[in-house]
Amino acid sequence: MKLEAIELRRIALPLVTPFRTSFGTQTERDILLVRVIGPGAEGWGECVALMSPTYSAEYVDGAQHVMQSFLLPRLFEAGEVGAHEVAEVLRPYQGHRMAKAAIEMAVLDAELRTAGRSWGTEMGALADRVASGVSVGIFDSVPELLDHVQGYVDEGYVRIKLKIEPGWDIEPVAAVRERFGDIPLQVDANTAYRLGDAKHLAKLDPFDLLLIEQPLPEEHVRAHAELRKVVRTPICLDESIVSAQSCVDAILMGAVDIVNVKWGRVGGYLEARRIADICRAHDIPVWCGGMIETGLGRAGNAALAAHPAFQLPGDISASARFYAQDIVTEPIVLEDGYVRVPTGPGLGVTLDHAFLDEVTIKSTTLRP
C-alpha cells in the first residue's frame, strides 16, 4: 500500500463508571486513533497506551511523539508497505509496541477493506461469536463490589474477573464466590505481589478460580515458575508476554499455565495471532485481554478471540460496559453472554464521524 497521508487523532471518551486498579483510577480515556490513507483506501487503528506509564512504559503522549518523530517518517520512506511488512520496517526503533501496533492495525484494516476480506478471516477465526467476560475494578467496600458484580451477572456476562491487590484480595474473592456460587471467576493482580507473597496467594486456591493473572512483576518470569510450585491455581501471564519469543521462553521455563493475549502489548494483531498459534502447539490455553478499547479494538478483539487457541472467555465486554456512546455505528453488544464476530471487510465496523468529531481533542495529518 502506498501511503498518501496519515492522520493522528486524539479523542476523549468519558467512562460510564470510574475504573480503579492498582495502577490508579480512570474516569475517561484519552485515545490516539490512527487513520491511514492510500489510493482509494482508508484504514483505522487504535493505540491502547494509557495516559501514564503505569501498565507499561508506554503512554499516549509518548506514543504520538514517537509516531510523528520516528515511526511514520520511516513508514513513508519505505514506499509501498503491506501490513505484514510494518513490523519489519519499524524494527530499528526499539520498543513502542503499542504505537507500532496501532499503525499496523490501520494499514491492515485498509488492506482488508480493499480486498473485501474480514478481520476474522485474517485472524484464523473459526467461530461467529465468542464468550464475553467482564473485568471488575477495585471498590471502596465489598458490598459496593457485590452490587456491581450482580449487575454484570444480570446482563449475562459468562465470566467475572476481579482486580486484586494487597489488602483487597481474599475477602472480596470469598464474598463474590459465596454470593454467586460456581460462576467462572478469575483474578488479576497487575504485578502487585512479590514471590514472598506466595503463601498468601495460595489462600486463593480454595475458591476454584480459573486463574491468577500476572501476580508478579513483568520481568520476574522465573519467579512465576517458582510461584507455580506453591500455588495450585493456574498462573496466567499478561504483562510478561510482550512477543512471540517471550511467550516461548515463558512456556519452556515452566512459568505459565495460561496466556492472556493483548494485541497492543505484543506489537499488533499479527504478532498476537503468532502467539496464539504457539500456545496452541504447546497446549497452553489462551484468552483475549482488553485495554478498554473503543468499538474498533473490540471488533478486532472479537475476531482474534474466535481463533481456536482461545479457550477461555476474554475481556471482550459490550461497548456499553465502558462507554455511553461508542465511536462506531455498530457498537459491540452482549447477546446471551456472547459477542458476535464482525463479518464485514476489514474490522467490519463503521465510524460514527459526527460523534467522532464531537469527542476529538486535536488532529494532525502527516504526509510524505
User: What's the average pLDDT block by block, 10 residues per block, for the chain (368 residues)?
Assistant: 95 86 78 95 96 92 98 95 96 97 98 97 95 94 96 95 96 97 96 97 98 97 98 97 97 97 97 97 96 96 96 93 94 94 96 97 96
Q: Sketch the domain layout of the chain as residue ranges.
A: 5-116+350-366, 120-340
Burial class of residue 226 in the structure, from the number of CB atoms within 10 Å of its CB (0-12 exposed, 13-18 middle, 19+ buried): middle
- Residue where the block lists cell 467476560: 133
Is 262 known to be catalytic?
A: yes
The listed CATH number (3.40.50.300, 3.30.390.10, 1.10.3720.10, 3.40.30.10) that belongs to domain 5-116+350-366: 3.30.390.10
Let me know: does 104 contact 86? Beta carbons within 8 Å: yes
Which pLDDT score, from 0 to 100, does residue 25 have? 76
Quickly count helices (H) and strands (E) in the chain. Answer: 14, 13
Given 100, 161, 199, 262, the catalytic residue: 262
Which pLDDT score, from 0 to 100, does residue 26 have? 78
Buried b (16+ CB within 10 A) or exposed e, 132-171: bbbbbbbbeeeeebbeebeebbeeebbbbbbbbbeebbee
Which pLDDT score, from 0 to 100, does residue 22 have? 63
As a CATH number, domain 120-340 is 3.20.20.120
Domains 5-116+350-366 and 120-340 share a fold: no
Is 163 known to be catalytic?
A: yes
Which pLDDT score, from 0 to 100, does residue 1 have? 85
Cell of 122: 485474517
Given 163, 203, 229, 362, the catalytic residue: 163
